Amino acid sequence: MTRTPRTTLRAATGLAAAALVALALAGCATSGGDEDPNASTPPTESTVNLEAAEVTVLAAASLTEAFDDLATQFEAANPSVEITVSYGGSGALATQIIEGAPADVFASAAEAPMQQVVDAGLATDPVVFATNTLELVVPAGNPAGVTGLDDLANPDLRIALCDESVPCGAASAKLLANEGITPAPDTLESDVKAVLTKVSLGEVDAALVYRTDVQAAGDDVEGIKVPAAADVVNRYPIAAITDPSSDASDAQIAAAAAFVAFVTGDAGRETLDAYGFGTP
Amino acid sequence: MASGGDRVNIDPRASDAADGRPDHGDRSGGPARAGGRARPGAAGAPDRPGLSVDVSLSFGETRIAAAFEVQPGFPLAIIGPNGAGKSSLLSAIAGLVPLDSGEIAIGSRRVDGLPSEQRRVGMVFQDYVLFPHLNVRDNVAFAARMRGSRAAARAAAQPWLERYDLVALADRLPSELSGGQRQRAALARALAAEPDVLLLDEPMSALDVEVRAEMRAELATHVRDFGGATVLVTHSPADAARLADSVLVLEHGRVTQRGTLEAIRADPATPYVRRLLAASDD
Amino acid sequence: MARAAARSTGRLAWPVTAIAVVALAVLVLPLVALVVRAPWADLPELLASSAVLDALVLSFTTAIVATAICLVLGIPLAALIAHAEAWPTVPRRLLRAAVTVPLVLPPVVGGIALLMLLGRRGLIGHWLDETFGITIPFTTGAVVIAQVFVALPFLVFAVEGALRSSDRRTELAAATLGASRWQVFRHVTLPLVAPGVAAGGVLCFTRALGEFGATITFAGSLPGTTRTLPIASYLAMQTDPDEAVALALLLLAVSVLVLLTLRDRWLPGATA
């Protein structure tokens, strides 16, 4: 009879001890991330005196190169802030945020996933900061002799497209529908980078990806401009995540807002331009 | 070279057969074999071949060298301390471990170059190693099954099951048998293959002490009925006395003495043999 | 009674029990959440859609074929590894590592490796393409190959474990009874490791059924051809989490069902 309560008490004590250790470790991690506040920082327009904070950014896969660059620039300007960017399909990222994944900033490749997050009450007033259009992409040397969108209907060619459930796939479907083309894809990939990889490896003869991806892929692939693509523009919104139940510190919220301002500001514009994104 | 220590080299055939044989107190047969049942195979047939062995082999660090002949109907017991290489020698005769050099012949047939399955050497393993997934009938039928259909093999096994008093146990798995029953099943399995030579590796060691004497007597009868060349490995003088005509002592891979048990008892060649024979058996 | 009770409950130190409970929670709670959060009312409708049925049929067909291939290839490999006990250290360890690496490799890496070998520009793939006009990626065959690649080690190690724990002397006994090497394998080795083969086959099947990374990398994702249940579930997560949960539930149910039925069937003595 005496065993049960005692065991419970002991177990509770043990758990409490474990929790204390976890808290202590978390404290160490925070103070460890603290940079020297007196370090000289190059004064830029976006430099506010930010307190130490770690900011988690969830961004669409097509933003990979541009946001890696932006994060580095922002950290150089604000040494007390550490930016972690995680990339994925916009829809999956939106689901993760709604399911409570820790995120301070969300940059989506389309407006629908952002709207889901806004509808869930986790973001307000997203800002469209970039646009993107589709381009045909073929392996270097264009071995299959692809010339235009019509080739995507050729069942003899290996074709990769984004699945319609992700923004690049939705855009591809719209573009092909506009042109009256029924594609013959061999695979419908879950994100645009996966499509691009299959092109760089030469596993497919042609694919539709964003022109920024063609630019980022370098010499492994060749882009073929598609005039009709100008009518199907992907708009990229960004917003800070404002989860009322989150335990984000004020410093973290301020840093997240500063990063959003940085991306939507002139420096961000310049960088995004360099990676081939259009101006909204 | 291969045979070490040729101290007393006797050919059991040369001695009086009646004297050389073990004491067959149960010669009239136990209840199991009363009534003159048909003997399967050519048990006790006079044309059985002898076994001639002159080999060397390695067992871990131990080099084993031995030469001996075994005549049909005159079982040889190889006796010796643990690690002497007795079981390895037996396995080599069965073709289960390779020789370094030497010859093994069964009658006029050289078998050392043959794989185990072509030697016609039956073996009863230490703790019997029955097939755990087969019942007693299919264990005994195994050799016939390798040559024919399951039905034919089972039919061929029937007289052996009867001969070894296994009919009532035929549908049992080995795990459901007593030690003595397992020994009978293993012997029936080996002899149903109609081997020219029978090898027994420590046949009594897996049995409870209380039943050993009885099982030893039973085994002696079966070995005699088999009638072919038989080699038995044991560390028990009682087994050797009851089951074999002559004894070969193997120590550290070398033959240190051979002869009838009585002759060895009269003149032990090594301290091991002296201690062995002085100790009370079982 | 009291003594027995004390022995069964009193021997385990409480921290061990506490941690074991946490471990159990780690394993079970996510699955409980999946079941609790499942859109039960809409489930029949979600699961009856043709996209789901296509994925279900494709997953089952490919996983069954992959398991059959694993059995044919894996049992001899397991026998070889068991026999390699007698080999020198280096080749023996290399052999074992060759089977272990795919087991610990992220499946996506496996998919990339398969592309490097069998893709249109792969070591063998470019030859297949140029000589026979055969390209493997993006075919149902590629799904099976990816599944075999990730699932084979499970079968091999299950069977090898069974071989290792079985008494090798039974094989020797069979040889003295006139069995050739093939007959020994067929009549002794194989039946003795049957429980291990069954367990390995079940593991292999469920692993093939759940395979995602290598498949999407090597085989792509096209409904009816290469889009298996896990890929369909992942893609559904992008737009319709309810459908994703429904598909996940289906995968979970299938895995549990397969484990339960085959376990009972192969429980020792259950068939005797």
pLDDT, one tens digit per residue, over C41-97 is: 888 888 888 888 889 899 999 999 999 999 999 999 998 998 888 888 889 999 999
The answer to whether B198 and B176 are in contact (CB under 8 A) is no
Mean pLDDT over each residue of chain C, to the nearest integer: 86
Nearest to A187 among C121, C222, C239 (CB): C222
Show residues of chain C in contact with A157, CB under 8 Å. none
Structure tokens at A230: 């100008």
Q: Higher model confidence: residue A38 or residue C217?
A: C217
Q: CA of B237, closest CA in chain C: separation in Å? A: 26
Structural fold of domain B1-7+47-110+119-130+196-282: Rossmann fold (3.40.50)
**Each residue of B13-66: pLDDT tens digit?**
443 333 333 443 333 333 333 333 334 444 445 578 999 999 999 988 889 999
Closest CA to A173 of A225, A132, A232, A114: A232
Q: What was the pLDDT predicted at C8?
A: 53
Residue A176 has pLDDT above 90, yes or no: yes
Tell me which residues of chain C have a C-beta less than 8 Å from any C-beta of chain A.
10, 14-15, 18, 115, 119-121, 135, 137-138, 216-217, 219-223, 226-227, 231, 234-241
Q: Do B115 and C167 touch (CB under 8 A)?
A: no
Q: Higher model confidence: residue A39 or residue A256?
A: A256
Place of tokens 């050729």: A154
Q: Do A185 and C222 touch (CB under 8 A)?
A: yes
Mean pLDDT value across residues C107-120? 91
Residue C220 has pLDDT above 80, yes or no: yes
Nearest to C221 among A7, A158, A190 (CB): A190
Residue A272 has pLDDT above 90, yes or no: yes
Structural domain boundaries in chain A: 53-131+235-274, 134-231
Residue A8 has pLDDT above 60, yes or no: no
What's chain A's Rg over C-alpha atoms? 23
Q: Which residue of A has its CA nearest to C242?
A: A95
Nearest to B143 among C178, C180, C194 (CB): C178
**Each residue of B56-93: pLDDT tens digit?**
999 888 899 999 999 999 999 999 888 888 999 999 99
Residue A80 has pLDDT above 60, yes or no: yes
The answer to whether B3 and B52 are in contact (CB under 8 A) is no
Mean pLDDT value across residues A120-136? 92
Please report all neighbours of A, defined by 3+ CB atom pairs within 8 A: C
Cα–Cα separations (whole angstroms), residue A60 to A276, B83, C236: 15, 72, 17
Q: Which residue of C has its CA nearest to B198?
A: C176
Residue A27 has pLDDT above 60, yes or no: no
**Each residue of A147-173: pLDDT tens digit?**
999 999 999 999 999 998 888 899 999
Q: Higher model confidence: residue C150 or residue C87?
A: C150
Interface residue C188 vs chain B (CB under 8 A): yes
Structural domain boundaries in chain B: 1-7+47-110+119-130+196-282
Mean pLDDT value across residues B91-111? 93
Structure tokens at C140: 């149902």
- The yes or no reply on domain A53-131+235-274 and CATH 3.40.50.300 is no
Show residues of chain B in contact with C180, CB under 8 Å. 117, 146
Mean pLDDT over each residue of chain B, to the nearest integer: 83
Mean pLDDT value across residues A210-215? 89
Q: Do B146 and C194 touch (CB under 8 A)?
A: no
Q: Do A91 and C238 touch (CB under 8 A)?
A: yes
Q: What was the pLDDT predicted at A192?
A: 85
- Is there a common fold for A53-131+235-274 and A134-231? yes
Show residues of chain B in contact with C176, CB under 8 Å. 94-96, 116-117, 119, 121-123, 190, 193, 195
Q: What was the pLDDT predicted at C263?
A: 63
Residue B261 has pLDDT above 50, yes or no: yes
Q: Do C235 and A190 touch (CB under 8 A)?
A: yes
Q: Which of A203-212, B35-44, C144-153, C188-197 has the lowest mean pLDDT?
A: B35-44
Mutation pick from A13, A97, A138, A165 vs chain C, by most beta carbons of C within 10 Å, is A165
Closest CA to B252 of B40, B89, B115: B89
Q: What was the pLDDT predicted at C265?
A: 56
Interface residue C186 vs chain B (CB under 8 A): no
Residue C120 has pLDDT above 90, yes or no: no
Closest CA to B206 of B182, B222, B190, B188: B182
Interface residue B96 vs chain C (CB under 8 A): yes
Q: What was the pLDDT predicted at A165?
A: 83
* Domain architecture of chain C: domains with CATH: 47-266 (1.10.3720.10)
Mean pLDDT value across residues A263-272? 93
Tell me which residues of chain A have a C-beta less than 8 Å from any C-beta of chain C.
3, 7, 10-11, 14-15, 89-92, 95, 158, 160, 163, 165-166, 185-190, 194, 198, 201-204
pTM: 0.71
The band of C6, judged by pLDDT with boundaries at 50, 70 and 90, is very low
Mean pLDDT over each residue of chain A, to the nearest integer: 82
Q: Which residue of C has its CA nearest to B127?
A: C169
Q: Do C14 and A203 touch (CB under 8 A)?
A: no
Burial (CB count within 10 angstroms: exposed 0-12, middle 13-18, buried 19+), residue C71: middle
**Helix (H/G/I), strand (E/B), else coil: A140:** coil
Mean pLDDT value across residues C29-35? 89
> A134-231 is classed in which CATH architecture?
3-Layer(aba) Sandwich (3.40)
> Which region holds residue B127: left if phi is over 0, alpha if psi is between -120 and 50, else beta?
left
Closest CA to C59 of C217, C200, C221: C221
Which residues, including other chains, have CB under 8 Å from residue C175's CB and lie 6 or more apart? B95, B96, B115, B116, B117, C181, C184
Residue percentage of chain A with pLDDT more than 70: 82
The answer to whether A114 and A108 are in contact (CB under 8 A) is yes
Residue B118 has pLDDT above 90, yes or no: yes
Q: Which of residues 177-196 of B touch C (CB under 8 A)?
A: 189-190, 193, 195
Q: What was the pLDDT predicted at C266?
A: 53
Mean pLDDT value across residues A10-24? 41
Place of tokens 């490796």: C113
Give CA–CA dist C207/C167, Å, rounded: 29
Q: Which residue of B has its CA nearest to C167?
A: B129
Mean pLDDT value across residues B168-178? 94
Q: Do B193 and C178 touch (CB under 8 A)?
A: yes
